Amino acid sequence: MTEHLHPLHEALQRLDEAWNGAEHADDLTRAQLVAVTAALGLLHRRSGAMLAEVAACVARESRTELGADSLAKQNGFRNAAQLIATTTGATTGDASRLVKVGEATTPRIGLTGERTPAKYPAAQRALAAGTLSPQAVAAIICLLDRVRFALGPVRTAEAEQSLVERAAGLSLDDVRRMVTRAEAWLDPDGVAPREQEQRARQSLSIFERDGRIHLDGDFDAAHGAPIVAAVNGYVSALFAAQKTQLDPGSPDADHRSVAALRAEALSAICAHALGCENEAPALAGATVVVRVDLKDLTDGTGYATVDGSDLPLSIATTRQLAASGGVIPCVLGTDREILDYGRELRFFTKTQRLALAERDGGCAMCGLPPSMTRAHHIRWWKRDAGPTNLENATSC
């Protein structure tokens, strides 16, 4: 056995010890099931690390400049990703990411043939040890590639080490959430441009097919947060009502899936909005909470987060949201303690908004009609302690 294969054999040995001679998985005890799952996870991560290394070599031997001598073409494939995807049963996208991981975590060969350190050595060590999967490493190195020029080599190395350490023991979903937050922390100046890019990609398609109406939406954090809060608030209210009124075992109990309840919620909220006169759907306290550091809010730097979402918000967007109905700003100090929990009482009433529309006739700046404007404080409610009255109000 070569030393390079030792990590795989060690993982197989752990699996054999955890299985402990059982004939079938059904014969395993609960403790064994946990141990076998852990051993299989280690084997999966270590074999994935080796596959990433091999994938990088396949890509090098299949590079375009080799022409007909390309390894992929000699085996009947267009490129390395197609070869790897076909032989491993993965998608071409997964295969491409595997190649990228392998290229970023294996020692590089210089022009004179000498081996140089890997681009991301901390990620390489985590892969070799089986601490992280190639998928988790792919999420980390994609982030580092985006911010490395803004950070410089020293901070990039520090960020790599920190991310690799924090990712250990996390699920892939949790790693991706961590990476999303880390990008805003590492490159706060990039939050607003990324936000603009996400906003430009948002869409909502509505079409009929097979006698049903289909909706397919893609929203940025600022526009998606109110939808999530409203729908989840409605579903929570349904669950609460059922819990207090019906025995779960009753034949009248609602056993629909959460997805079905969310569909009903969206329909009910829209129906309510069409017939509601006070423009305030009763959603059992469903509210969007935006969390932001006081220093970032004051200086206009940094970023904020929305409860229920991992995507960062720029301070400009945070201020716009804070002026919207149903949004509560939670302002935090340096130790993340709550300094102020905004109140919805800051918002203008329906009567005030009607009077404002009558007085201003629409937007005070560009002339938009009243139906397309909102009431705003001239002197900010939070910063300048501006009152919520007509003298301090303007349409915009």
Question: From the centroid of its chain, how far is CA 20?
Answer: 40
In a domain, 234, yes or no: yes
Determine the 3-state secondary structure of 180 from DSSP. Answer: helix
Domain boundary pick from 245, 275, 305: 275
* Residue pLDDT, tens place only, 201-240: 899 998 888 878 899 999 988 888 888 888 888 888 877 7
Per-residue confidence at 159, pLDDT binned at 50, 70, 90?
A: very high
Identify whether residues 207 and 99 lie together within a single domain: no
Q: Which residue has the higher pLDDT, 363 or 116?
A: 116
In a domain, 198, yes or no: no
Domain count, the chain: 3
Identify whether residues 59 and 185 lie together within a single domain: yes
**CB-based contacts of 349, cutoff 8 Å, min separation 6:** none
In a domain, 378, yes or no: yes
pLDDT at 285: 46
Identify whether residues 176 and 76 lie together within a single domain: yes
Domain boundary pick from 163, 189, 215: 189
Domain boundary pick from 154, 189, 224: 189
Cα 15 to Cα 36: distance, rounded to the nearest angstrom: 6
Find out whether 64 and 81 touch, Cβ atoms under 8 Å: no
* Residue pLDDT, tens place only, 136-145: 999 999 999 9
In a domain, 281, yes or no: no
In a domain, 282, yes or no: no
Question: From the centroid of its chain, how far is CA 64?
Answer: 35
Identify whether residues 99 and 135 lie together within a single domain: yes
Give the end-to-end CA distance of the chain in Å, rounded to a whole number.
73
Evaluate if residue 364 carries a pLDDT over 90: no
In a domain, 280, yes or no: no
Cα 145 to Cα 104: distance, rounded to the nearest angstrom: 10
Q: What is the pTM of this model?
A: 0.65
What is the domain range of residue 219? 203-275
Identify whether residues 270 and 175 lie together within a single domain: no
Evaluate if residue 303 carries a pLDDT over 90: no
**DSSP symbols for 236-281:** HHHHHHHHHHS-TTSTTS----HHHHHHHHHHHHHHHHHH-SSS--
Determine the 3-state secondary structure of 281 from DSSP. Answer: coil
Determine the 3-state secondary structure of 392 from DSSP. Answer: helix
Q: Please give the structure tokens belonging to residue 134.
A: 């190639």
pLDDT at 282: 43
The residues pairing with 323 across neighbouring beta strands, listed in sequence order, are: none
Per-residue confidence at 327, pLDDT binned at 50, 70, 90?
A: low
The residues pairing with 115 across neighbouring beta strands, listed in sequence order, are: 109
Identify whether residues 231 and 314 lie together within a single domain: no
Q: Which residue has the higher pLDDT, 284 or 303?
A: 303
User: For residues 122, 126, 127 and 133, what is the CA-based torsion angle, rounded to 10 degrees?
Assistant: -120
Evaluate if residue 338 carries a pLDDT over 60: no
In a domain, 194, yes or no: no
pLDDT at 174: 93
Q: What percent of the chain has pLDDT over 90?
A: 38
Q: Which residue has the higher pLDDT, 244 or 258?
A: 258
Cα 183 to Cα 132: distance, rounded to the nearest angstrom: 19
Looking at every residue in the chain, the average pLDDT score rounds to 81
Identify whether residues 130 and 152 lie together within a single domain: yes
Evaluate if residue 246 carries a pLDDT over 60: no
Which H helix or E strand runs over 359? helix 350-360
Identify whether residues 82 and 54 lie together within a single domain: yes
pLDDT at 92: 92
Identify whether residues 207 and 114 lie together within a single domain: no
**Strands (DSSP E) found in the chain:** 108-109, 115-116, 203-209, 212-218, 288-293, 304-306, 312-313, 327-332, 338-341, 375-377, 393-395
Instruction: Identify the residue whose tokens are 């629909």.
Output: 256
Identify whether residues 29 and 158 lie together within a single domain: yes
Helix ranges (DSSP H) in 114-208: 121-129, 134-151, 153-167, 172-186, 191-201
Helix ranges (DSSP H) in 187-257: 191-201, 221-245
pLDDT at 97: 93
Mean per-residue pLDDT, 52-81: 93
In a domain, 283, yes or no: no
pLDDT at 88: 93
Identify whether residues 60 and 138 lie together within a single domain: yes
Identify whether residues 95 and 9 lie together within a single domain: yes
